[in-house]
């Protein structure tokens, strides 16, 4: 097993890095807040003090970070890793970032002889810990073959979308747009039911067990019914970021997405009310307030 760098140890990154350690990979890990690396170091990972320290010449560095800026901060400059990776190196980009950034990084990496491989994932932290992620993949054929053992160690399936650097990121944004849309629909449906005397848990049972018996609807119907908004599996703030990336990419490709505009306003309102760290299923609170239901967001789980 080769030694690889891993940058970004939030809930998802920590779970993924843990799976790689258990699979036998040697890891050099970096996080802006070093304390988050403690559990991984205890399992055998080595702590890097700068992003560049995670890179071995010709090696592989994985990034799992919150947004475009965070990725750019660890790639470029004196602290960045891409120049040290150099010829034969691979940047395995597993974050949800813009296709626009992916194109720019792929061009920049090429100047150093580094391959950019996109591999964003579908799944919450518990799926990451259980090695049950679904992975979208794009990049050169040879680079994809080399990273395949890594992907097989953290996911239950990988879908290949060819050699275009941004393709996998487009697919990831498509999926997150559909999830956000499902959550909005569920929020409105549950408020409609409650306003007309239907118990939320009973509604979740019938919808999740019949017409909408699939993981997305079942997971978020249960979260809304039981008001499981904290701790967040995926925050409203991140949901807003992803919807904004969808809108940016839609504008770049001249694609009208009316529903994405509604989702942007819904998530933005939640952030403005101090709910940015709630789970994104908590947009139910916005629908409930609009319908005149009593909402107490200070005591939600």
Confidence of residue 2 (pLDDT cuts 50, 70, 90): confident
- Tell me whether residue 295 is in a domain: no
Please tell me whether residue 4 adopts helix, strand or coil conformation: strand
Which secondary structure element, helix H or strand E, spans residue 62, and what is its range? Answer: strand 60-63
Domain range for 89: 3-164
Per-residue pLDDT at 77: 82
Per-residue pLDDT at 3: 81
Per-residue pLDDT at 300: 63
In this structure, the answer to whether residues 129 and 242 fall within a common structural domain is no
Cross-strand pairs, 27: 4
- Tell me whether residue 298 is in a domain: no
What sign does the dihedral 170-113-90-34 (CA atoms) show? negative
Domain boundary among 122, 147, 164: 164
**Stretch 245-266: mean pLDDT, rounded?**
98
In this structure, the answer to whether residues 238 and 189 fall within a common structural domain is yes
Strands 46-47 and 26-30, by their bridges, are: parallel
pLDDT tens figures, 49-87: 999 999 999 999 999 999 999 999 999 888 999 999 999
In this structure, the answer to whether residues 142 and 184 fall within a common structural domain is no
pLDDT tens figures, 230-243: 999 999 999 999 99
**Stretch 177-187: mean pLDDT, rounded?**
98
Q: Is the pLDDT of residue 96 over 90?
A: yes
- pLDDT mean across residues, the chain: 96
In this structure, the answer to whether residues 230 and 185 fall within a common structural domain is yes
pLDDT tens figures, 3-39: 899 999 999 999 999 999 999 999 999 999 999 999 9
In this structure, the answer to whether residues 8 and 149 fall within a common structural domain is yes
In this structure, the answer to whether residues 151 and 8 fall within a common structural domain is yes
In this structure, the answer to whether residues 37 and 106 fall within a common structural domain is yes
**Stretch 184-194: mean pLDDT, rounded?**
98
Confidence of residue 299 (pLDDT cuts 50, 70, 90): low
**Stretch 122-131: mean pLDDT, rounded?**
94
In this structure, the answer to whether residues 156 and 216 fall within a common structural domain is no
Domain boundary among 164, 194, 225: 164
- Tell me whether residue 103 is in a domain: yes
In this structure, the answer to whether residues 154 and 9 fall within a common structural domain is yes
- Tell me whether residue 274 is in a domain: yes
CATH classification of the domain holding 269: 1.10.1040.10
In this structure, the answer to whether residues 76 and 140 fall within a common structural domain is yes
In this structure, the answer to whether residues 103 and 217 fall within a common structural domain is no
Dist. CA 104–CA 97, nearest whole Å: 12
- Tell me whether residue 278 is in a domain: yes
Domain boundary among 122, 148, 164: 164
- Tell me whether residue 71 is in a domain: yes
In this structure, the answer to whether residues 175 and 160 fall within a common structural domain is no
Query: What share of the chain has pLDDT > 70, as a percent?
Result: 98
Phi and psi dihedrals of 239, rounded to 5?
Answer: -60, -45
Dist. CA 40–CA 116, nearest whole Å: 26
- Tell me whether residue 254 is in a domain: yes
Q: Is the pLDDT of residue 298 over 70?
A: no
CATH classification of the domain holding 101: 3.40.50.720
What's the total number of domains in the chain? Answer: 2
- Tell me whether residue 297 is in a domain: no
Q: Which sequence positions are flagged as catalytic?
A: 172
CA distances from 70 to 8, 63, 66, 95 (A): 9, 9, 6, 10
């Amino acid at each position: 097993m080769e030694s690889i760098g891993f940058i970004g140890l939030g809930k998802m990154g920590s779970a993924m890095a843990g799976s790689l350690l258990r699979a036998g990979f040697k890891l050099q890990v970096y996080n802006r807040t070093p304390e988050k690396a403690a559990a991984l170091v205890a399992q055998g990972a080595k702590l890097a003090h700068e992003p560049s320290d995670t890179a071995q010449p010709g090696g592989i560095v994985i990034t799992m970070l919150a947004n475009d800026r965070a990725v750019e901060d660890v790639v470029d400059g004196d602290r960045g890793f891409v120049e040290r990776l150099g010829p034969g190196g691979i940047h395995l980009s597993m974050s949800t970032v813009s296709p626009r950034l992916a194109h720019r990084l792929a061009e920049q990496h090429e100047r150093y002889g580094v391959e950019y491989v996109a591999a964003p994932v579908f799944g919450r932290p518990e799926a990451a810990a259980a090695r049950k992620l679904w992975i979208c993949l794009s990049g050169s054929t040879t680079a994809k073959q080399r990273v395949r053992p890594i992907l097989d160690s953290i996911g239950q399936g990988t879908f290949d979308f060819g050699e275009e650097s941004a393709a996998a990121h487009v697919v990831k944004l498509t999926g997150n747009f559909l999830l956000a849309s499902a959550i909005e629909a569920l929020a409105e449906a549950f408020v409609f039911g409650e306003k007309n005397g239907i118990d939320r848990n009973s509604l979740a049972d019938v919808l999740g067990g019949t017409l909408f018996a699939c993981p997305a609807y079942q997971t978020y119907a249960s979260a809304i019914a039981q008001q499981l908004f904290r701790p967040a599996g995926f925050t409203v703030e991140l949901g807003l970021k992803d919807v904004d990336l969808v809108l940016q990419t839609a504008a770049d490709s001249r694609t009208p997405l009316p529903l994405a505009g509604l989702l942007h306003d819904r998530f933005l309102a939640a952030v403005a009310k101090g709910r940015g760290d709630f789970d994104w299923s908590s947009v139910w609170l916005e629908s409930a307030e609009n319908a005149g239901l009593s909402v107490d967001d200070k005591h939600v789980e």
